[in-house]
Structures are given as C-alpha cells and as structure tokens.
Structure 1
C-alpha cells in the first residue's frame, strides 16, 4: 500500500446525510456544516418542514455511538505509511459514526470526542441534534471510493495528516418524519464528491478535526 495513496479496500457503507455532504438547505437553516460553502454549481433547495423539537433535550438519546469502538489507540511512530493507515482507520470510524447518527436520528453523538475533535466534533454533534429536531433519517448507501493522503507531518506538535476522500452519494435518500422522500432536494453531481479531512494526533489517537469540500472536484467516476 503506497504511502501517497490509500485506496479503499472495500466499498465502505455509510449513511451520509446532506448535512455532512454539505449540499442541502433545510427550513432556511444552513445545514451545510463544512468549512466553506458548496460550489456554485451545487443546487440548493429549501424544505417547508419545521423542526419537530424547539430545543427540549428531554427526548435526546444518551446511547453511545457504537462506531467509536472501532478505533484502537497507541503511541505515535515515525512510520509515515503506518500512521496514514491509522488515520484512515479513524476516518472510517468517523464516517461510520456519521452513518450511525443519520440512521438512528435520535440526537445522540455520545462518545464522538474519542475519534473527533474541533470542527468535525461540532459538525457531528450539530448533525445529530438537527436530524432529531427535524425528524430526518437517511436511507440507502453511499460509498467511499478512494482515500488519498495529501499532507503528512509527524514532526509537528501535534502531528497532523490531511486526507482527500472521494464519496459517492448517488445511492442515498433522506426521508422526513412522515417517511416522505426528500430526494429532489439532494444534490446529485453524478460522480463522487471530494472531501478534505484533517486529523491531529491526540491522546494516542488520530482524531479527525477538520472537514472541507474543495472547489476543485476531480474524483473519478464511480
């Protein structure tokens, strides 16, 4: 496995709502929770749905996100390829957690601080709460088609790695609280979308910390 390109070994199944893909506006609220706005070619449409919950936390689930358990901890090495692989494992766990949060729709992001920090932790917590309030759940599948390291700095404090991730969302849908499809409101680019994820090494773990959708979209067709 090359230290400059880590291809997905299998099609990872995940439920990525448009909040994480960053390309759906809901009820006038900016649900794209990424650094920067979507490209000008990305259509956005608004739903007339209003949040089911206005802020009461009583019904929010306290059940931990199970995907967090997939990441193992250990000291940082000077092996760039091994640390890229560890970071990719953490990214897989974050995407699986996003899957789980979207599927459950119960408002829980409990335990996410073990594998995410900074912007990404806030993004997932906000996503969990927003889906709970709006009553949205994702159905269908998305695929990570490739993961490529674009920057590795193991000497910095903390150490950092940046990954480019191509995600195909053509197989997903989002349904509202009544079970109605919102497929017409979802951005469908016709090929995988590039995401840039940054990770820092903290508490003997690679934690995913930043998330951006770059203007240059050059992922290969699925």
Structure 2
C-alpha cells in the first residue's frame, strides 16, 4: 500500500519473477484486497492520509486469517532511531527504507518469500543488446546511456527539471531494454522530487553494475 502509485511500476519492473504485484493507494483499498485474496508479502507505507500505516497494518492483520502470519513490511522514508525494531514493536515484520536500490528490494523479497529465478539486471540487459547488435555496438550504446544518465543526475541535483528529464531518460532506458530503470525515471513525471531519491539510487546502482560512473562520482552524494 502506498499513496505514490509510481512505486508500483518500479516494484513490478524489479520483480518480474514473482508472478504479480497488486497496488492499493489507500488503507480501505488495501484491506479490501487482503480480504479478497491471500498475499505472500505486503508492503505498507507509513505516512498516509487518513489512517496511517501503523493503523492500516493492524487492519490488514485483522482482515483475514492468513494475514495474521504473513510478512507485513514497513515501506517508508521514516528512519527512526531504533531502526527496524521500531516497526517490529508496532506489528511489522521488517522494514524497507525509501529510497531503495534494486538490490534492497530483491533481497527483502527473497528473504521472506524465496524465489530461485534471478532478477533480470543491468548485466543481463547488456548481454542481450550484445546478442542483438554485437558487442562493440552494444558497449557504445550503453556507454552513451550511462553518460546521459550521469549528466541527468547532475542536472537534477543542481535543480534541473526532473519531470522533463524523467520523460527523456525513462524513454531512453525503456528503448534499450532496462525496464526498472525506465520505470524509475518515468516516475519523476508524476512524483517529481518525491520519487527522485529512489530513481537516483536505482540509477547509481545501474551505473556501478555496468562499470561506469558519473563525472562527479555518484557514490559520494
């Protein structure tokens, strides 16, 4: 459950192997979904209008018998001093902090529900491009994308228009076959600055995995 629907597109793109991800934008929608069918894992945002995530998590636990034991994970920008124990004390099983990188989400899902199928990551996409275009052409194309990503990150960090850049970079990443990266950048069209930390983290992870880096070293920001 999250009031930012853009997170749904990012999560779906990052987890193609789990069979389906539903989205609820409000507490009542989440409770209705839980009553309609069982889920292997539930992510709950905390800072929600109306009933907050703590209250909704309790509603979810009470909504169905299976939900009493299912993993319910806090999915939030809140960073309490007590860390994950803060959320465990309030009825959650764990915590996924926003912003998150792809590896954070995948590790959480594999911890709680398993899954032998690997995430299709940046290295796999690069290999697929090489099969289609040849290694030299694929390397050149990916190199141009990495340079454009680094420039876009620098521009947004300096106050640039994240919505326009999100549209451009999301389209580029999607065309080259990087769905999670594309979803993260396209989320900026609607979420703007709210979505930027997560888009930036996924971009940084992609650049590092493909062997590139920003001119100002993204890892230091």
Per the TM superposition, whether the score is higher than 0.5 is no
Which structure dedicates a bigger proportion of its chain to helix?
2
TM-score between the two structures when normalised by the length of structure 2? 0.29
Judging by fraction of residues, say which structure has more strand: 1
Normalised to the residue count of structure 1, the TM-score between the two structures is 0.29
Relative CO higher for 1 or 2, CA cutoff 8 Å, sep ≥ 6? Answer: 1
Q: Which has the larger radius of gyration?
A: 2
